[in-house]
Structure 1
Amino acid sequence: MTVETHSPESAGSGDQVKTHFRTCPLCEAMCGLEIKTDGEKVLPPIRADRDDVWSKGFICPKGTTLGHLHEDPDRVRVPLVKDENGTFQEATWEEAYARCEELLHVVRNTHGVDAMTYYIGNPAAHNFSISRYVGALVMQSGVQMGYSAGTVDQWPKNVSSECMYGNSWTFPTPDIMRTQYLVVMGANPHASQGSLLACPDVLGEMDKIRERGGKCVVVDPRRTGTCDHADEWVPITPGTDAAFLLALCHVLFDEGLVDMGTMANHVNGLDEVGALVADWTPEKVADTTQVPAETIRRLAREIAAADSACVYGRIGLCNQEFGTLASWLIDVVNLLTANFDVPGGMMFGNPVAPAMVTLNFEAPKEPEFGRWHSRVRGAPEVLGQVPVSCLSEEIMTPGEGQIKALVVVAGNPVISSPEAGRLDEALPMLDAMICIDNWVNATTRHADVILPGLSPLEQPHWDEMIWSWAARTAGNWSDQIFDYGDRPDEWEILVRVGALMGGQSNDEIDERAIDDGFFAGLCMFFGLDAEHVLSHYDDGGPERMTDLMIRIGPKGDRYGENPDGLTLQDFKDNPHGLDFGPMVPRVPDIIHTPSGKIEMAPPYITADVGRLQRRLGRDDGIVLVSRRHVRSNNSWMHNVKALVKGKDRCTLLVHPDDADGIGLADGAVARVSTEIGSIEVPVEVSDEMMPGVVSLPHGWGHNLDGVQLSVAKEFAGVNNNLLAPGELVDEISGNAIVNGIKVEVVPVPA
């Protein structure tokens, strides 16, 4: 919603100040914002919308900088095409599309579709167009093997959900607003605001748990800012969370504390889990995890005795050696303690508008992995992908199927993927590289063509996926604030590039016709008359898609079948959003396994316990973990000076005992090395780290030739992914291991 007001802030401009209410698109907190503009300028400060029904006045530092992102002089606003000298030149959209067609068609006609691939970055999940239409690019391209940031930060959770619930995007989330006992593992809401947990002000909710007599526990190798809002910090050896969770389960069975509650008739595999954990005593794992056996027993008893409890784990559990086991066991503990699909436990979100990826388009079937393997490494396919670290070797290794063309959508894998240096070497070897991105960063500097998208303020917003794991059922529509002229929408770019990859020519591509066909197919899937539904709209694109999903959602009007149901217009008429209450039990309706029940002991996952058994007792010496800051959003917020200025945050955190043993001083420089590389970084001695573990932030390392990010280059930092070996993956998910990497740390002489 936009309102016009006269304000002293606009004195002298001669224009009217406009106030806009919208949702921040930067993370899962989905904070409501109040943004004032004067003409084409954002008037600082951006404030929290205190009337927003979802966030109720909460805001984090990142949300205040949307104006900086929009006005960033480094932001690409017109297509860039690289000339014969390797220099980017501004081009018209027609010229850029023509160059894309030329490059992609040469590769397709010469080497075939197997020589083409794509990479999808993390920001795509938060973008109004890309989140809904990246699938159109993939389907039209005909490409079988693609890559994404998912195999760096969350694929184990997708695998465990596929095996347990029959849908890889069905994630239970903690009912944090009603629980009495919260365990946080491998997550730091102090920085992330929550991940696969949509809730404004997670730290405030943790404070409320304690105020109402409950308890919060953080299990993490680092005493993060989240620990300041908890009753207890439990340090744990990185990569051993699965062993800790198996021991928790052992105590529950051994002491007769198992209670399936309302799930008793909805679960298969209870006896199998009991047999599996029988030998996993707390004493067996104590030395490896560095969590005392008595602490494990006490925590198990406390979880079982609590009126309600949630054991929540996130990225630190995913991107480690046993990520899938840990992700699976989180849900098992909640199931075993009657804390699943009940208020105050782990529940499933009930979005007003279901996300496309959560829909079940096929009949239930047994999970199937390894349907094909990567050409060079032989890595097995998992949920349609192989590890992103395979990309560099697929580009560099000659032979049939060698990758010759790459399309990158909203991603910066040269910074964010393991063995980043090798990928940086590989990208110039491509015959065609097309990037859909708003900046010339470490990755896009290698592109032949950059097709710019829109700023967050140049497009509407409604989160598609995030509401699927939200603590309440709500919704909020945001109008676009600024006009972007005759530039194409991002959905149109995605459709066109996908069609070009698929072999079509520019002169035969009709984005609207392709969109109408896709939309009509969805209507038929939902049992709607496509012609009748299409008659409701003048325009295509993501706004139409959003209206469709609201209308077919649990509260929708189904185009007149339910006259009192919701449409998108209801949310446009309520600029601060609509709230429909907390999560509700959903298991009978949401499970999509062949048995119709939750599979608590999926063989594909339980078979991996033997690999964990072999890890017990291993001493890795000093290991490295990652971290992020509340003012950082991976690599793509580092060009905002308001977020990166001040104290250097790209430092190596080292426990005082380790610093003394290694000979490191606070503020000195250390060299951190692995088998694939080394970096030099300032040291920050801090007892927030447990001994034996050091920490580097991720998303840094912008001081590369050709990067056109003036602020980020000034605060370049170092890239911790130069240390992560690409072949280190969680074997059954293919997810990268970037936490718990064995490193050597030595002082650098002054």
Structure 2
Amino acid sequence: MLAVIHVLFRDDLVSLGLVSGFTDGLDDVGTAVSSLTPVWAAERTGIVASDIERIAHDFSRAEAGICYGRMGVSTQAYGALCQWAIQVINVVTGNLDKPGGSLFTLPAMDQVTNTSPGGFARFSSRGRGLPEFNYELPAAAMVEEIRTPGEGQIRLMFTGAGNPVLSTPNGAALDEALEELEFMVSLDPALNETTRHAHVILPPTSPLEHDHYDIGFHNLAVRNTARYNPPVFERPKGALHDWEIFAELGDRLANLLGLEPMPRQPPHELVDRALRSGPYGGASDWQISIEKLVAHPSGIDFGPLQPSCPDRLQTVDKRIRLSIPEVLRDIDRLIEDAPAEGYRLIGRRHVRDNNSWMHNHQRLMKGKPRCQLMMHPDDVANEGWKSGMMVTVSSRVGHLQAELSASDEVMPGVVSLPHGYGHGRSGTRGEIANRHPGVSCNDITDEQFVDQLSGNAAVNGVLVSLSVSAA
């Protein structure tokens, strides 16, 4: 992506379009990428230089286009830099805030105008000093925060609907560290690889036993939409929704501290209030409300996304700042970072089992086994191996064995294991998942391997070695 930006500047293809009047730092970006040629990128990525140039030219000349990237480009050693480069490409080609390009939503329940713009590095982890983002520390710091004595040491943990033992780097170390906690509570319907360590498990109602309004989805949708789902089934007698569990815990804590408990309000009432006061509420022709959404079970489409900048920007001065010193310094780190010899491990997510909880459903797990080590056929041949062999994959933190599968879906020099496996551990209650245990790729990802700019865990691109036992 940096080489694409280089070509856009080199060949005078930069055209900001609608955002030109409120964008700063363009010249600094051009200077920062001046040496990052397609030839340089080709040596690093294996993508032919002429293809990089063609992509840059085609993208800049297209009537509309969008550069987009999510999980895969984020959870690696230069994740923050990648996300910056994605937005720069959209900006310098005039595709930000343009129909057909990258646009912001205007959701019925608007979380942009109702929340703060966030923050970064206002405090850091006690061990390595990893920065917070939006008041959250990187998961890569979890084990050391449990095990490092002193003020701020994690001695009590509350988990909610997650399985970090299988989804965070060096999950094997976290598996051990959770046993060292003085107290652990899990709000979760499952007794899984993480919640098995809890002293108390508080099971909420199932997804089909409570109502739902997807705040996150509507904020990220490709059209402005709203949809509300009432519960499909009545909840069992005595069962509590997750919000009721949190409310009850809050009431009890308030009583212990001698404080007045917070008033309880069901989520659907809060959502209804937000809908009525939002852009499609009482002040609009839509007159949106929970009641109206119930009458439209398939949801309501408010139309395509529209240009909304600079008003929609959450920067103090309503301007786009491309020249971010921390990011530009990270480009220097990338240039100086010599590629290491060896294979690089990446994860993958299958449609039918992209998270660990999906492994406990027979309809999703039937068919051929999917927890295999994918490796490019040329690498398989060079090693003298073949599909079906058991290969040992080793990293700094541990090793595991997986069945080899030759596949041209990965690049040479890259191997891939799927996310979310590693079942069959004692104390869990997942009959189907335990029949398909597989191995957890995060038992060999490295909590010390992080994106140095953001502090985020780099679970993709982990340096590993491969071996097979002698026959």
Distance 1:474 1:323 in 2: 30
Name the SS of the counterpart of 1:735 in structure 2.
coil
- Superposed, 1:365-514 pairs within 5 Å as 369-484=120-235, 485-498=237-250, 504-505=255-256, 510=261, 513-514=262-263
Does residue 1:335 correspond to 2:110, yes or no? no
Query: Of residues 696, 702, 705 in structure 1, which corresponds to 2:426?
Result: 705
Q: Which residue of 1 aligns with 2:326?
A: 604
Show structure 1 runs of 4+ deviating over 4 A: 506-510, 561-564
For the residue of structure 1 that corresponds to 2:55, the secondary structure is helix
Contact 1:382/1:734 (8 A) holds in 2:
no
* Paired AA for residue 248 in structure 2: R
Paired position in structure 2 for 1:7 = none
Q: CA deviation at 1:745?
A: 0.9
Work out the CA distance in 1 between the residues paired with 2:441 and 2:391.
13
Equivalent of 1:723 in 444, 450, 456: 444
Question: Given the superposition, is the C-alpha separation of residues 730 and 458 from structure 1 closer, same or farther in structure 2, using an over 3 Å criterion?
Answer: same
Equivalent position SS for 1:744:
strand
Tell me the equivalent position of 2:280.
Answer: 555
Cα contact 1:698–1:720 (8 A) shared by 2: yes
Flag the 1:749–1:456 CA change in 2: closer, same or farther, 3 A. farther
Query: 1:263 aligns to what?
Result: 19
Distance 2:285 2:2 in 1: 51
Give percent identity, aligned residues only. 39
User: Could you say what secondary structure the match of 1:589 adopts?
Assistant: coil
Displacement of 1:602: 2.0
CA drift of 1:564 comes to 5.8
Q: What's the secondary structure of 2:228's corresponding residue? A: coil
Gaps of 5+ in 2: none
Q: How far does the alpha carbon of each residue in 1:533-589 deviate from its partner, in whole angstroms, 9 at most, with x for none?
A: xxxxxxx211011111211211111xxx55762222111112222112111111122
- 1:373-408 deviation per Cα after TM superposition (whole angstroms, max 9, x unaligned): 222233233332222122112222333332110000
Instruction: Determine whether 1:247 maps to 2:3.
Output: yes
Whether the 8 Å CA contact 1:319–1:738 is kept in 2: the answer is yes
Cα distance between partner residues in 1 of 2:284 and 2:270: 19
Contact kept in structure 2, 1:662 and 1:747, CA below 8 Å: no
Q: Which range moved further: 436-445 or 454-463?
A: 454-463
Do residues 566 (structure 1) and 288 (structure 2) align? Answer: yes
Match of 1:642 in 2: 363
1: CA distance, partners of 2:390 / 2:143: 31
Cα distance in 2 for residues equivalent to 1:412 and 1:499: 27
Checking the alignment, whether the CA contact within 8 Å between 1:269 and 1:601 is kept in structure 2 is yes
Gaps of 5+ in 1: 1-244, 516-539
SS at match of 2:247: helix
User: Structure 2 counterpart of 1:495, which letter?
Assistant: A
Contact 2:140/2:450 (CA < 8 Å) preserved in 1? Answer: no
1:626 alignment partner, one of 323, 331, 347 = 347
SS at match of 2:311: helix
Q: How do 1:148-227 and structure 2 match up within 5 A?
A: none
Q: Deviations over 1:35-93 (max 9, x none)?
A: xxxxxxxxxxxxxxxxxxxxxxxxxxxxxxxxxxxxxxxxxxxxxxxxxxxxxxxxxxx
Query: In the alignment, what sits opposite 1:347?
Result: 103
Normalised to the residue count of structure 2, the TM-score between the two structures is 0.95
SS at structure 2 position matched to 1:637: helix
Query: Residue 21 of structure 2: SS of its match in structure 1?
Result: coil
User: Partners of 1:290 and 1:654 in 2: how far apart?
Assistant: 16
Letter of the aligned partner of 2:191 in structure 1?
V
Counterpart-to-counterpart distance in 2, 1:252 and 1:307: 16
- Pairwise CA RMSD of aligned residues? 1.9
State the match for 2:313 in structure 1. Answer: 591
Whole-angstrom distance in 2 between the partners of 1:508 and 1:372: 28
Shift of 1:497: 3.3
Partner in structure 2 of residue 274 of structure 1: 30
User: Equivalences for 1:313-328 in 2 at 5 Å?
Assistant: 313-328=69-84
- Taking the aligned partners of 2:345 and 2:250, their CA distance within structure 1 comes to 39
Cα pair distance change 1:271/1:499, threshold 3 Å: farther
CA contact (8 A) 1:628 1:697 kept: yes
Q: Distance in 1 between matches of 2:269 and 2:172?
A: 42
- Contact persistence 2:374–2:410 (CA under 8 A): yes
CA distance in 1, matches of 2:11, 2:79: 27
CA gap of 1:345–1:459, structure 2 versus 1, over 3 A, is: same
Counterpart of 2:60 (choices 304, 308, 331) is 304
